[in-house]
Amino acid sequence: MGLQETKIESLPFVTAELNYLAPVSGKPRTYAFDPPPGEPKSTSLPEPHQVPIFDARLIADNVSLDREGFALVRHPNQVKDFYNDEEIRTVYYPAVEAFLRATLKADRVFIFDHTVRKRVEGAPDIRDGGPRQPATRVHVDQTAVSGANRVREHLPDEAEELLKGRVQVINLWRPIRGPLRDSPLAMVDGTTVSPDDLVASDLIYPNRRGETYSVKYNPNHRWFYFPEMTADEALLLKCYDSATDGRTRFAPHTAFVDPTTPADAAPRESIEVRTLVFHKQ
């Protein structure tokens, strides 16, 4: 049973402000470093909207990665220090790879990067400067173009053969400490997203150009979150799917300010691991 058959209106919810993409002329673009003189850091300007975000705890078993584009999973881990990059790569990466291969019945999983985030009040979000800030705009990490390009970038010798099968980009996101009450993650039900809502946007690095989706407001969007996630829980977020058979291909998401967060709640600390998931057709 999907969320369509569930009485969503009976679920608890909070009303919060989410930052959609304001109308912009031309393709939006953001520099991942200090922009050239006279250029703004980003042409993607926020358009805030107050929306209900439903507590999905009671319907977690009805949420599907292929249908809604996200899923809550139980995932204990053995990592002692998520701020130790070597431990992340030697302990956490293998555990995530094995977990996703088994959970998604994948033929192969390739981890291409990770991001640690810690909210610091008033601090800018700086790449390569320690933990990142939570991402506070509605977005998808990849696009139809950049999702496939990730395979070519990271596995160039095998890319064309791998791209003959099904390829997904799956983000495994978790709190480092729980229960998480500050800056939780909200996900939109992918079945309520229209292709026209997704706006390909350039992300410009010093040596390459990536592409993400910014998201235009649509009153049909239905938002969910899992309050007070523990350190043994994780979210699977679909950032790209090459399958075009009707299943959800992209899952917009964003951090948000929960108005019910206690004033003394610990700042959000989280880690996300981005992976390529392969299925032979």
Residue 5 lies in a domain: no
Residue 10 lies in a domain: no
209 vs 281: which has the higher pLDDT: 209
Residue 67 lies in a domain: yes
* Stretch 84-100: mean pLDDT: 98
Spell out the residues 6+ positions from residue 39 whose beta carbon is closer than 8 angstroms to its own.
Answer: 31
**Confidence class for position 1, pLDDT limits 50, 70, 90:** very low
Residue 102 lies in a domain: yes
CA distance 16 to 165: 40
Name the token pair of 21. 């993409």
Could you tell me the CATH number of the domain that includes residue 229? 2.60.120
Of 57, 88, 59, which is closest to residue 228 (Cα–Cα)?
Answer: 57
Does 236 score more than 90 pLDDT?
yes
pLDDT of residue 184: 98
CA distance 14 to 226: 12
Residue 233 φ then ψ, to 5°: -115, 155
pLDDT of residue 52: 97
26-61 pLDDT, tens digit each: 999 999 888 999 999 999 999 999 999 999 999 999
pLDDT of residue 5: 53
Residue 76 lies in a domain: yes
69 vs 119: which has the higher pLDDT: 69
- State the CB neighbour count (10 A cutoff) for residue 125: 13
Distances (CA, A) of 208 to 111, 149, 153, 160: 19, 12, 11, 21
Residue 156 lies in a domain: yes
112-140 pLDDT, tens digit each: 999 999 988 766 666 665 678 899 999 99
Residue 41 lies in a domain: yes
Does 2 score more than 60 pLDDT?
no
Domain count of the fold of the chain: 1
The domain in which residue 156 lies consists of: 16-279
What ranges make up the beta strands (E) of the chain? 13-21, 29-31, 46-55, 70-74, 108-118, 139-140, 166-175, 185-188, 198-204, 209-215, 223-225, 233-241, 253-255, 269-279
Give the three-class secondary structure for 152.
Answer: helix
Residue 4 lies in a domain: no
* Stretch 216-240: mean pLDDT: 98
Of 235, 244, 238, which is closest to residue 270 (Cα–Cα)?
Answer: 235
251-267 pLDDT, tens digit each: 999 999 999 999 999 99
